[in-house]
């Protein structure tokens, strides 16, 4: 059994689970990250958990989040979509 908290496993800059390092659910963790709205922590959490896990929680919280947090989330999502498009395009490139 790992003794690392979720914040330590993911590598966030803020210890979101400091008060409950071994028992915090992923949903609560994601909500805390979105509430704080730090770009690096949002990116790190999304990269670790995936948009499939984060998106429903973000959608539920969106009406309560500040505009800046919504913009940061949107920018991260666009960045991931662009990266996926580039990866897919490379699969079909002809070798030179």
Three-state SS string over 5-65 comes to CHHHHHCCCCCCCCCCCCCCCHHHHHHHHHHHCCHHHHHHHHHHHCHHHHHHHHHHHHHHC
The model's pLDDT over 41-96, given as tens digits with 9 standing for 90+, comes to 999 999 999 999 999 999 999 999 999 999 999 999 999 999 888 877 777 766 66
Measured in degrees and rounded to the nearest 5, phi and psi for residue 22 equal -110, -5
Confidence of residue 1 (pLDDT cuts 50, 70, 90): very low
**CA–CA dist 47, 83 (Å, integer):** 13
Output the six-digit token pair for 30. Answer: 């994601």
């Amino acid at each position: 059994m790992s003794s690392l908290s979720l914040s330590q496993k993911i590598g966030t800059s803020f210890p979101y689970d400091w008060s409950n390092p071994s028992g915090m659910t992923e949903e609560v963790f994601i909500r805390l990250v979105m509430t704080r709205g730090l770009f690096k922590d949002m990116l790190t959490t999304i990269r670790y958990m995936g948009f499939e896990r984060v998106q429903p929680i973000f959608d539920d919280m969106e009406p309560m989040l500040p505009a800046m947090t919504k913009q940061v989330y949107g920018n991260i999502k666009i960045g991931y979509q662009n990266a996926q498009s580039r990866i897919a395009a490379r699969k079909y490139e002809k070798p030179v």
